[in-house]
């Protein structure tokens, strides 16, 4: 396990780690389709989510050229609307921008701000630059810099996305801490030499017994306590 003095820069995953994506998307679905009952909301959300996951995987596999998350969200919105027979353009547009309106977890804003008083803090996300601009503003997240995989035309866990963070940090990867609620994300960071911290979230992907994560935290308050002087 690294010492806190070993860490120069902290890098946060955004979707799922700092903001509650499922709740935010479902809320947008309810706002844009007031006629939808709970079953329809869940059906729309499932179609939206599966489309994004499938298309990101196709891009990772080389079966589709890279497009940013905003384009995938617009496609997902159209697919979801078609599933339930919605054709109102305003409704589809609202669904397409669901990724702009994701609420932060209760500890996210304060802990990122507190860390930022002592260490450089970066965000690293698969979300597009335009989405991150609006998401950060609405969620109240304040970084020294936020990075999008759009810059390198790739989605995590592609190594070039983590290398973008390493290059931006300007220090050896072993002095950079990647924080995420997804074990797959932390494995990708480890492959580039970064240190790793798992933070438990209700929508996360917990480490398995075979993972060797440097730190395991139940929340960001524990992370802050581990990194900052008492």
52: domain CATH number? Answer: 1.10.150
Give the up-direction half-sphere exposure of residue 181: CA atoms within 13 A in the CB hemisphere. 19
pLDDT score of 141: 95
Tell whether 195 and 114 lie within a shared domain.
Answer: yes
pLDDT at residue 87 tops 80 = no
> In the chain, how many domains are there?
2
In the β-sheet with 9-13, what is the strand arrangement from edge to edge?
A: 145-148, 121-125, 9-13, 176-180, 195-199, 215-217
Tell whether 106 and 215 lie within a shared domain.
Answer: yes
pLDDT score of 2: 66
Span 178-189, pLDDT tens digits: 999 999 999 999
- Between residues 40 and 16, the one the model is more confident about: 16
Tell whether 30 and 120 lie within a shared domain.
Answer: no
pLDDT score of 230: 65
Per the structure, the complete domain to which residue 15 belongs is given by 4-20+102-227
Q: Where are the alpha helices (DSSP H) in 65-139?
A: 69-83, 89-96, 108-116, 129-139
pLDDT score of 124: 98
Look at residues 161, 159, 205, 155 and name the one whose alpha carbon lies nearest to residue 180. 205
pLDDT score of 9: 98
The rounded distance, in Å, linking the Cα atoms of 50 and 211 is 26
Tell whether 131 and 167 lie within a shared domain.
Answer: yes
Average pLDDT for 130-158:
96
Q: Domain ends where: 59, 85, 100?
A: 100
Tell whether 107 and 71 lie within a shared domain.
Answer: no
- Sign of the C-alpha dihedral, residues 18, 67, 96, 25? negative
Q: Domain ends where: 100, 126, 156?
A: 100
Range of weakest confidence among 3-7, 44-48, 141-145: 3-7
pLDDT at residue 72 tops 70 = yes
pLDDT score of 18: 98
The three-state (H, E, C) secondary structure of 48-64, written as one string: HHHHHHHHHHHHHCCCC
pLDDT at residue 229 tops 80 = no
Whether the model clears a pTM of 0.85, i.e. scores above it, the answer is yes
**With bands split at pLDDT 50, 70 and 90, how would you rate the model's confidence at 3?**
confident
Residue 194 belongs to domain with CATH number: 3.40.50.1000
């Amino acid at each position: 396990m690294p010492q806190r003095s070993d860490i120069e820069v902290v890098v946060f995953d955004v979707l799922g780690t700092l903001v509650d994506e499922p709740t935010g998307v479902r809320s947008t679905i309810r706002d844009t389709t007031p006629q939808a009952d709970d079953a329809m909301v869940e059906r729309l959300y499932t179609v939206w989510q599966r489309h994004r996951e499938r298309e990101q995987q196709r891009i990772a596999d080389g079966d589709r050229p890279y497009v940013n998350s905003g384009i995938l969200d617009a496609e997902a919105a159209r697919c979801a609307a078609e599933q339930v027979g919605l054709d109102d353009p305003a409704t589809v547009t609202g669904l397409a921008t669901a990724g702009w309106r994701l609420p932060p977890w209760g500890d996210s804003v304060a802990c990122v701000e507190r860390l930022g008083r002592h260490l450089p803090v970066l965000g690293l996300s698969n979300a597009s630059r335009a989405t991150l601009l609006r998401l950060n503003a609405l969620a109240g997240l304040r970084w020294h810099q936020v990075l999008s995989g759009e810059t390198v035309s790739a989605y995590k866990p592609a190594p070039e996305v983590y290398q973008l963070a390493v290059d931006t940090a300007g220090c050896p990867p072993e002095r950079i801490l990647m924080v995420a609620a997804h074990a797959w994300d932390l494995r990708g960071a480890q492959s580039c030499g970064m240190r790793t911290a798992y933070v438990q979230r209700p929508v996360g992907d917990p480490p398995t017994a075979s993972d060797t994560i440097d730190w395991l935290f139940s929340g960001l308050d524990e992370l802050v306590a581990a990194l900052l002087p008492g």
